[in-house]
Amino acid sequence: MLGLEFEVRPAGIDETYQPGEEPGAHAERLAREKALAVARVESGAIVVGSDTVVVLEGDLLGKPRDTAEAVTMLLRLEGREHTVATGVAVATGDTVCSAVERVRVRFRPFDRSTAESYVATGEPMDKAGAYGIQGFGATLVEGIEGDYFSVMGLPVSRLILILESMGLGYTFPGLVRQG
């Protein structure tokens, strides 16, 4: 969408939640670790890492382990507001800059049958909180307050600000330049 050329490189890091770690700090830490892990291998590359978590009443809702857990997560979110925290980091070599973006999302009321039908699509199984706002999960969302792209997993505006803070910039149609 932004006109940037990129390659997806899994970082292979341990994504274990640290006891007592605040959810936004967790997402930012993982984004930093992902970006640094790849930047250390890809010399000279500009590496973007991100991680997204869903938070409901202080509980971290990650990716569901199975369909039963996905249905349970969705029913917890049903008719309620929750927070999505997405960490984003940019790394070159051993240098990294990062931030976290928080968005409030409100789900509409729905029943177990709706949750089960959505889970049957397979879409929720690799998504924090068991939904993807950019797909069928959009039908569950009543409203958001904040950056839509953060809910999808990459806070675009925040990414551009980080690039600029590192002396890089975005020019249309998407070339990153040294500033």
pLDDT at 142: 98
Backbone angles phi and psi of 160, in degrees to 5:
-65, -40
Residue 94 bears catalytic tag:
no
Give the mean model confidence (pLDDT) for residues 35-41.
95
For the residues 3-11, what does the mean pLDDT come to?
Answer: 89
Please compute the mean of the pLDDT values over residues 81-109 and round it to a whole number: 96
User: Which residues share a beta bridge with 171?
Assistant: 175
Residue 171: its pLDDT value, please?
A: 85
Q: Mind listing the pLDDT tens digit for each residue in 155-165?
A: 999 999 999 99
What is the band of 179 on the pLDDT scale with cuts at 50, 70, 90? Answer: low
Percent of the chain with pLDDT over 90: 85
Q: Exposed, middle or buried by CB within 10 Å (0-12, 13-18, 19+), for 119?
A: buried
DSSP 19: T
Chain centroid to Cα 12, Å, comes to 16
Nearest C-alpha neighbor of 27 from the set 81, 71, 83: 83
Per the structure block, which two tokens stand in for 23? 């959810």
Closest CA to 99 of 28, 48, 51, 160: 28
Q: Which residues contact 132 (CB under 8 A, 6 or more apart)?
A: 123, 124, 152
Q: What are phi and psi of 22, to 5 degrees?
A: -65, 140
Q: What share of the chain is helix, strand, coil (3-state, %, to 5)?
A: 35, 30, 35
Q: Which H/E stretch holds residue 150?
A: helix 148-152
- Specify the pLDDT at position 1: 84
Model confidence band, residue 178 (pLDDT cutoffs 50, 70, 90): low
Structural domains of the chain ordered from first start: 23-178 (3.90.950.10)
Res. 75: pLDDT tops 70: yes
Which comes out higher in pLDDT, residue 173 or 79? 79
Q: Which of 14, 51, 59, 66 is catalytic?
A: 51
The per-residue pLDDT of the chain, averaged, comes to 94
Q: What percent of the chain has pLDDT over 70?
A: 97
Which DSSP category does 138 fall into? G
pLDDT one-digit tens code per residue, 105-154: 999 999 999 999 999 999 999 999 999 999 999 999 999 999 999 999 99
User: Per DSSP, what are the bridge partners of residue 52?
Assistant: 86
